[in-house]
Structure 1
């Protein structure tokens, strides 16, 4: 109790005497709401409070004096408490503004992450004309109580940033709708914004917040009165939609995609955004807990990986649960598989177009399981990325590659540069490059034999870290490659500033070039940009002679794809592709 009263006293001093608004904000819950003395003074969220503080300071810049103060804890529980305060406050007479106010506060605290934060504040001014009458005005008290209750409930169920329902509010409202008197057919939709963290990184968190608010506004307009929407996680939204059939639902979701962002926000971020949505169609709306239904929609949303995620609408199927269990089983088996050497090195050759000779290769991996099945990287690498196992896995594959390169060098083979993929998670690991170099040097592999490869998204998300890494790699004699260019948010200007040596053009830029003039122009400009910024251009996914001929005409340096060679075991690569010095 003393702790809470001391905190209330500290906040009162900060607000009235010190006028230190930033200290106050440190002790507010993200779901903070308040009721003030003004007729319409009801607010929520720190953003609105900042605006209120700014307006208040423009009205009166001076400090107040607290003549009398009394603090009392009227309710206390492990996670919630209420403190009442009575203050007599007066303004500085020299300011030209004379104010003397007997104030009363009710402060609601909630324990969040191990500390007490203010979740709601109710402020009133004593009505001095009735000070002689020790009675309660029931009508006024009931009105104030109802306002307070409404504000607290609203703050509890409403997302502070966007103003739509949060998870708890959505679950409650959706529960009311689905079992209402009118029997409707409902679909539960959960969708996430693809690559949202890149928007935060490139455009700033304020712009990211504006994107979320724009989406929330679109959802409110999109939903009918019998439907509900909410922001249930950082960049994940939920919808309860009435529908007549799958075709109707697909059509509505396409309309939502088209108007998800306001034109103003689109211009601000300079890019379209895409989402991946999971849909659960319950057989009996009232038979399952709402959160279980949300989980099933999430499983559907997460079942699509890679580029196929863009604007994808996936319906939940019980088989998805089996797929999820299989992924978890594989994840449990991965450490032992690493010890047993089940992950095998594969290499896909790259062709130098001008001379039609071997230019290099990309190191890949296959999981050769004891039962004879072979898993491709897409079936396990995303899992390793998600749970952090990729950090250990990358170094394991680096060692496998270095051991193989040492063997080829010892037997007199001429080695071309081999690119190896590295997770962007390493960029936040202290001492990563030192460990990388130590591994290569242990096998005495010349640094120029290895190309360090990062995806385009890593260059955008970790721009500063990647620039520093590029400088250090060059000092050590390694090359740096941008992989999958054309799949993310990187602009030509930002890529031109990145100190990379090789630009790997994603196969998506090569698709339909024969029939789409715009694709040909974009591909041409990317190749020109690589040449003018002194990067080697490598086009991935080349499968036809026509594609190869067009790339050669454009002046593309290297190609990689099934037309030239498929990924092959390291032993076959040595036998079929390498030459002796």
Structure 2
């Protein structure tokens, strides 16, 4: 294209120069043609004066010489007057006849002067000469008119070339601008794209999606929020390079399935969002299911035949009563996705009235939780742990309940996720820890029996550099002996960052706290972690005690864990135990403690006080 533009401009400018030179030449000739007509006219008029003077017997040889010079130059095109000799047949014919008649007039003048003829012949000849001079003038004028017409045509052509040149320049300039705009658009689009997957970054997705929502038929659009159910497993087991290859392929699949007016973006990690059109609502889940089948096939055929399922939340705009922006639709699609993550729904969930009510409850919790902390509406419940050797309550776990000012009890499943999503779970953790310390201080001052209590801390606490110092400060404030407090954390923290966990656990133990791993066996951590992690207690997840498929096999696994863990001098707590038969098996297997409904449910502080004041029943 650039070569074509350059060549086209050269041709147009060359033609313009040629026509310009030709035009300039014609304009210069016009000056000569005007002089030509004037001098032919002079010949015509001067010859009549000459005859008149001769008939009056006034000799005028200088005038004859003057006319000879003009006529000589008119017939030859050479002389002092700069008269041209046009290549026009009609003009030259008339000019030759005029020249011959001039010779006849000069002969008649000689005869008249010598008396060989009278003036009548000379006068008659002058009349004929005058007529021929007129014809010559008209021929010259006609030739000049022809040249004028040619000049007009050339000027028109030149004007056309000039216009064409400018149009060509404007066209080339506009093409260049369009190319620049297109390039800028592409560069701008690239800056808005995620480097790994090629889809929009979340900020750019929101901006473009809002434009489409504002301009389109909202009732036929849906926002999709999707991710892999446990993508961390892929990264941890097979490496981040393989994980990135899956995300890149998934981005290609999602982008490749988009139609006109649809978008795909990446929130973070393995979280993707889409804005799709549909005729029937079911199309959205069908399209997403087809995309997920392709990525599953890719994983199944790429590395060790390992796959992880997807979780997808769908929010159809027409199903939302409120007038929302794109952030609101994303929140609702994400909320629907979370119902898949927590196992309450299938892989593809549409936002509906039930989810709307749950979202309303979550927003209600969010709006009230800070005030509830200040008003001390959260109360600590205690679930005793029974030592199997003695059958007595040996310790307990602190659990939190929300008792509103109207007396309603809100269970942790309804408010803990909100505290976590708003990154405020650390405040709730510290609240519970301080309540436990206050309770134990009270028991100590009253001289009552005081048993160790374990308190849960979230994974976010481990990323707080001052976490251990804060807990030591609270403990020392109430002067609680370190052996009465146990810090409990989930196995998943070890998966996130085992090096960080190791450092924090060492600091906690140096500060005098006992440490325990909760939900052991639920995730993908290795027993080899226990070799380097100096924990005091390990809690076997209730998962091993709720399966009815093969209880003997489950208990055999539990026994293997107990035997191995005891070799590291770590005590075992079995949680979620609900039957006496399980208790008996655990006692024989050497389990240290049991925590479950088979003995005690979580109870308010006053009930727990009464319990530990009495002798606990054996089993």
Asked if TM exceeds 0.5, the reply is yes
333 and 209 in structure 1: CA distance in 2 versus 1, 3 angstrom threshold: same
Deviates more, 1:527-536 or 1:456-465: 527-536
Residue 192 of structure 1 corresponds to: 227
Return the offset for 1:371.
0.9
The partner residue of 1:263 within 284, 288, 299 is: 299
Deviations 1:492-542 (A, max 9, x none): 333543222222222223332443776556545444443343322222222
Contact persistence 1:214–1:265 (CA under 8 A): no
152 and 252 in structure 1: CA distance in 2 versus 1, 3 angstrom threshold: closer
The partner residue of 2:534 within 495, 499, 508 is: 499
Contact persistence 1:418–1:451 (CA under 8 A): yes
Deviations 1:11-68 (A, max 9, x none): xxxxxxxxxxxxxxxxxxxxxxxxxxxxxxxxxxxxxxxxxxxxxxxxxxxxxxxxxx
Deviates more, 1:247-256 or 1:507-516: 247-256
Residues 104-253 of structure 1 mapped to structure 2, 5 A cutoff? 138=172, 141=176, 145=180, 148=183, 151-152=186-187, 154-155=189-190, 158-167=193-202, 168=204, 188-194=223-229, 206-219=241-254, 223=257, 230-235=264-269, 236-239=271-274
Contact persistence 2:456–2:489 (CA under 8 A): yes
| Higher strand fraction (1 or 2) | 1
Residue 424 of structure 1 corresponds to: 459
Residue 367 of structure 1 corresponds to: 402
The partner residue of 2:516 within 477, 481, 484 is: 481
Task: Please give the root-mean-square deviation of Cα atoms over the aligned residues, in Å.
Answer: 4.3
Aligned-partner SS, 2:546: coil
Contact persistence 2:455–2:486 (CA under 8 A): yes
Residues 57-96 of structure 1 mapped to structure 2, 5 A cutoff? none
Deviations 1:198-217 (A, max 9, x none): 76678765454334224324
Q: Which runs of 5+ in 1 are unaligned?
A: 1-133
Deviates more, 1:234-243 or 1:503-512: 234-243
Return the offset for 1:423.
2.0
The partner residue of 1:556 within 574, 577, 591 is: 591
For 2:268 and 2:583, the matched residues in 1 are separated by 44
How many matched pairs? 444
Contact persistence 2:383–2:603 (CA under 8 A): yes
Aligned-partner SS, 2:577: coil
The partner residue of 2:364 within 329, 332, 336 is: 329
Structure showing greater radius of gyration is 2
For 2:293 and 2:345, the matched residues in 1 are separated by 13
Aligned-partner SS, 2:264: strand
256 and 546 in structure 1: CA distance in 2 versus 1, 3 angstrom threshold: farther
161 and 417 in structure 1: CA distance in 2 versus 1, 3 angstrom threshold: same
Aligned-partner SS, 2:339: coil
Q: Does 1:459 align with 2:494?
A: yes
Contact persistence 1:175–1:290 (CA under 8 A): no
For 2:210 and 2:370, the matched residues in 1 are separated by 42
Residue 140 of structure 2 corresponds to: none
218 and 501 in structure 1: CA distance in 2 versus 1, 3 angstrom threshold: farther
Return the offset for 1:176.
8.0
Deviations 1:84-120 (A, max 9, x none): xxxxxxxxxxxxxxxxxxxxxxxxxxxxxxxxxxxxx
Contact persistence 2:485–2:514 (CA under 8 A): yes
Residues 510-549 of structure 1 mapped to structure 2, 5 A cutoff? 510-515=545-550, 519=554, 522-549=557-584
For 1:498 and 1:250, the matched residues in 2 are separated by 44
For 2:388 and 2:615, the matched residues in 1 are separated by 22
For 2:534 and 2:232, the matched residues in 1 are separated by 23
Residue 314 of structure 1 corresponds to: 349
Q: Does 1:396 align with 2:453?
A: no
Aligned-partner SS, 2:479: coil
Residue 471 of structure 2 corresponds to: 436
For 2:391 and 2:319, the matched residues in 1 are separated by 63
Return the offset for 1:567.
0.2
Contact persistence 2:489–2:518 (CA under 8 A): yes
Aligned-partner SS, 2:397: strand
Return the offset for 1:439.
1.4
Aligned-partner SS, 1:575: helix
For 1:400 and 1:177, the matched residues in 2 are separated by 49
Contact persistence 2:397–2:453 (CA under 8 A): yes
173 and 332 in structure 1: CA distance in 2 versus 1, 3 angstrom threshold: closer
